[in-house]
Amino acid sequence: MVLRLKILFIALFVFCASVGAQQIQQLSLIDAITEGLDKNYSILLARNNEQISSNNVTYGNAGMLPNVNLNSSAGSAVRTSGASNTWNAGVAMDWTVFDGFAMFANYDRLRELEMMGQENLRAAIQQTIATIMNVYFDIVSKQQEIEAYEHILRISRLRLTAANDRFLSGRVARVDVLSAQGDYNADTASYIRQTEDLRKTKIQLNRLLAREITTDFYASDSIIVDQTLSYGRINELAMAENPDVMLSRMTVNVAALTLKSIEGSQYPRLSLTSSYTLAGPAGDRGLGTFNVGVSLRVPLYNGMNINRQIRNATIELESAQIRQEQIQKEIEAQVASSYSTYLVYRDLAAFEARNLGLAAENLEISMDRYRLGATSAVELRDVQRSYIAATNRLIVATYNAKISETALKLLTGEILNF
């Protein structure tokens, strides 16, 4: 009686977990990515930085527009003849019309920085999508593992019931019941551990989506590995579209424009100035004066600082070019490594799928033979272990193939076509 109650309790636990899974929210991959793109903190911060770089692209920030200031003052003078109060007010403008083309280089540099902000945002979006996909498919894998353990639990429960019935009828010894009970308990413990791992992984995805951490859901999509990826096309796309490669090119452009701006400091600076001033004793309407002028500043010597700045900017440009080449080589290496991993796990997944088919067939046959008494409990247990091992190998191979595929599409920018 006690044994049957234990079996009933554990069976009820598995049943409730299964029913609960059917009632919780169904979350597709597209829904998860859409929610993540809208709420993920990394993307929100990248959007703010992109907006700042966009706000900085103005003619005034580049030094192309005039400066206009309103100046006023009032004073009092004390003489032997008495005190007198005076005042003056005026508007002054200073407009640099030529500075060795530095202002144009500054404006182009601000435009380049704006594009870098946009590329950084695109990179943040792609990385977030890839991370969401990896965690989502990890959840799918764990759900598949739990389904496999549920199947094994049902078999272990049938075996335990059969062993108990046979023991009560005197056909087997007590040790067979204890063995079946121990195996059933071990399978139940494995099932519970898998459900806990699944819960923790769901917490990770909830964090990425900036939703309530404890929100429960069921990942409704399956893992489908793209079988059509080719190395040549991936490598070509990576060199053209990879965010790191593109940012390295933009960094070179910014360094070149910075050098051009500094070189402009060597040329004369021509400015237009104008002012209108009202001044007079307090209480009078005052007299107005309008002035217009041109100022020319020719740099002759400043302690060789301009030359030093030019040399340093030239070195920075060279360093940016070196980093660009370095990043390209690193991306090429990542493509080669990820593609090799992709091929291995893609082929391994196909191989393990065939193995699982054989293991499933063997398990079904063994169950039929066990019911007829033609297979021992020990032999059935070995077949169970073979089945769960084959299932886990297929799940791991498929998941790793998908992770490698995601890594390749992240390198090429195709991750946006989810």
pLDDT digits (tens, 9 = 90+) for 250-298: 999 999 999 999 999 899 999 998 988 876 665 555 567 888 889 888 8
Percent of the chain with pLDDT over 90: 66
pLDDT at 15 over 90: no
pLDDT digits (tens, 9 = 90+) for 343-396: 999 999 999 999 999 999 999 999 888 888 888 888 888 999 999 999 999 999
pLDDT given for residue 5 in this prediction:
39
- CB of 90 closer than 8 Å to CB of 69: no
- CB of 357 closer than 8 Å to CB of 125: no
DSSP 92-139: EEEEEEESTTHHHHHHHHHHHHHHHHHHHHHHHHHHHHHHHHHHHHHH
Rounded to whole angstroms, the Cα distance separating 398 from 407 reads: 14
Per-residue burial over 342-369, b if 16 or more Cβ lie within 10 Å, else e, is beebbebbeebeeebeebeeebeebbee
Rounded to whole angstroms, the Cα distance separating 54 from 126 reads: 20
Rounded to whole angstroms, the Cα distance separating 174 from 310 reads: 91
- CB of 408 closer than 8 Å to CB of 338: yes
Write the class of the CATH domain 2-72+83-416. mainly alpha
CB-facing half-sphere around the CA of 271: CA atoms within 13 A:
17
Q: Mean pLDDT over residues 303-329, rounded?
A: 95
Task: Give φ, ψ of 278 to 5 degrees.
Answer: -110, 135
The highest-confidence range among 178-182, 265-269, 284-288, 316-320, by mean pLDDT, is: 316-320
Percent of the chain with pLDDT over 70: 90
Q: What is the mean pLDDT of the chain?
A: 88
Q: Mean pLDDT over residues 390-409, rounded?
A: 95
